[in-house]
Structure 1
Amino acid sequence: MSLLPDGMHVTTSMVATYFEVAETVIRAVVFDHREELEGNGYRVLTGPELSYFKQLSGIRTHTASLALFSRRTVLNVAMLLRDSNVARQVRAYLLDTEYTVRNRPVDNSVHNLPADLLAALAAGLDNRIDQRVTHILGTTVVPLLNALIESAGEQRKGLLSAREDIHRAQRKLAQHEQKLHRLERARARRPLTGSRPLAGSTASTDAMTGREFAQHVAELLRRDGCTDVEIDSGGDRDATLTARTADGRGLVARCGDRTPHRAVGDGEMREFVGTKALHRADVAVYVATRPLSREAHDVAAQAGVTAVHRGLLEAWSAGTVLQALR
């Protein structure tokens, strides 16, 4: 039976070829008797251990793992295979050998040799054993230990890197928590709305939810004499309000999406112009806590929409009446 270049192992395909069975049969034997086979030398190489073994033995394979059978494991497989003529022949050979050895007369002539010759023979045998052990240690055990040490070092680096990532994430979470606390404090300090002029601080409106902002605009409309003020739709992003001005004109207002660091675009303004036409409103007010793009301003001017940008909103909240509501 041919061996790998290390002279000690064979692969799954080599075992299957030797016993003249399919590789799936060998894999099934390993699946059913893995613990027994591992006890006799079967192992699967992966990662750095596989790379080092390929470098050491000169074997070429592009798989992520490599199953290795020792000679003892191959004999173990022969004992477990049922439907293989070769396996049956191996079993018969082992049984015949055991019978022959067991019934062979013991040769005691060696005991009649001089003591110094017996000592020399024993020393020579010990030397051969020592050389074999040294060869095995140098070609398999030591390289494998080196590979394991190298792998442990790489794993330690990975753990250290993961720990740094966790620390960075913890710092970011702490920063976000501080920001949330600041927003909560700002909301707690925001005065309640009522019949008196509403708070004009942009910080207070920035801290509002979409629904709260819509209710804030509704209170501003009521304060300036509007009646039948209703919030038709609303959510976290925007809301549409309808009302009647003090002189009876129909009004529609839009509380725009208050996403920070993004100007209101002309597309959003055109969509609101369509809402104005749908409601057949005489007065249209677009309220935003963020700036409007030049294109959005142009669309609003052409369609007769009162654009309440951030600065105008602060003045309106502080008590100034919108020109469109007078």
Structure 2
Amino acid sequence: MVAGAAGGVLAVAMLVQVVREHPVLTVVVTGLVLAAGGVWAYLRWSAMNRLMSYERDVAVTDHMSGPDFERYVARLLRDSGCRGVRVSGGAGDMGADVTARTPGGRRLVVQCKRYAGNLSSPDVQRFAGTARDIHGADIALLVTTGRPTGPALQIARRCRITLVDRPALARWVATGVAPEVLDDRARR
């Protein structure tokens, strides 16, 4: 320990001597170190900013697989304050691709539909048949990259299913503001 402290003192003394004998070289080296640190910080910030922009652009979902889209929605839920977020999609999921607890503690069951076209009434009906009775949802959320048809919207309203279509998903992704149904803290 004493040897380490002595070595540290010796290194500082040598550095002070170099600075006194070569002030211009010291300024140049210090400038290069600071510039390199600045460039590194800028490149890191730029890469993180590009990634955030990419994630916040709903068009990224157009090239995702179904499981990728489910994981994407799960990340949005976590970012929105949901807890216990679990992706369970796949064969045999019976309509529950993602489950979670809202910030207020209510059970959330999510069906994810990555569609290029329309979301039809039968898609909503199938989810309505399992969300509450089988999965025990307090909140049933159907997230789609498509656009729900009129009959799909009617079924969703009657069955108390919150639909997040492409425009609503784009707002959620761009602003970070989750659908109102997830902000149930004030209601409890």
Alignment of 1:240-259 (within 5 A): 240-258=97-115
In the alignment, the residues of structure 2 paired with residue 324 and residue 274 of structure 1 have an alpha-carbon distance, to the nearest angstrom, of 20
| C-alpha RMSD over aligned residues | 2.2
In the alignment, the residues of structure 1 paired with residue 142 and residue 50 of structure 2 have an alpha-carbon distance, to the nearest angstrom, of 24
Q: Which amino acid aligns with 1:284?
A: A
Aligned to 1:287: 143
Post-superposition Cα deviations, 1:154-200, rounded to whole Å, max 9, x if no partner, equal xxxxxxxxxxxxxxxxxxxxxxxxxxxxxxxxxxxx9546xxx9833
TM-score (norm 2): 0.63
Q: Runs of 5+ in structure 1 lacking a partner? A: 1-189
Aligned to 1:213: 69
Contact 1:214-1:234 at 8 Å conserved across structures: no
Alignment of 1:140-151 (within 5 A): none
Q: Does 1:265 align with 2:120?
A: yes
Aligned to 1:320: 177
1:204 Cα deviation from its structure 2 partner? 0.9
TM-score (norm 1): 0.37
Secondary structure of 1:228's partner?
strand
Alignment of 1:139-288 (within 5 A): 192=51, 199-234=55-90, 240-258=97-115, 260=116, 262-277=117-132, 278-288=134-144
Contact 1:214-1:239 at 8 Å conserved across structures: no
In the alignment, the residues of structure 1 paired with residue 122 and residue 50 of structure 2 have an alpha-carbon distance, to the nearest angstrom, of 35
Residues 310 and 213 of structure 1: is their aligned pair in 2 closer, same or farther, counting only changes over 3 Å?
same
Contact 2:67-2:89 at 8 Å conserved across structures: no
Contact 1:218-1:241 at 8 Å conserved across structures: yes
Post-superposition Cα deviations, 1:221-243, rounded to whole Å, max 9, x if no partner, equal 111111111111237xx971111
Q: Runs of 5+ in structure 2 lacking a partner? A: 1-48, 184-188
1:269 Cα deviation from its structure 2 partner? 0.2
Contact 2:145-2:166 at 8 Å conserved across structures: yes
Contact 1:211-1:239 at 8 Å conserved across structures: no
Higher RCO, Cα 8 Å, sep 6+: 2
Q: Which runs of 4+ in 1 moved over 6 A?
A: none
1:205 Cα deviation from its structure 2 partner? 1.2
Q: Does 1:305 align with 2:157?
A: no
Aligned to 1:76: none
Secondary structure of 2:152's partner?
helix
Secondary structure of 1:217's partner?
helix
Residues 296 and 256 of structure 1: is their aligned pair in 2 closer, same or farther, counting only changes over 3 Å?
same
1:202 Cα deviation from its structure 2 partner? 2.7
Q: Which amino acid aligns with 1:214?
A: E
In the alignment, the residues of structure 2 paired with residue 191 and residue 233 of structure 1 have an alpha-carbon distance, to the nearest angstrom, of 29
In the alignment, the residues of structure 1 paired with residue 156 and residue 75 of structure 2 have an alpha-carbon distance, to the nearest angstrom, of 23
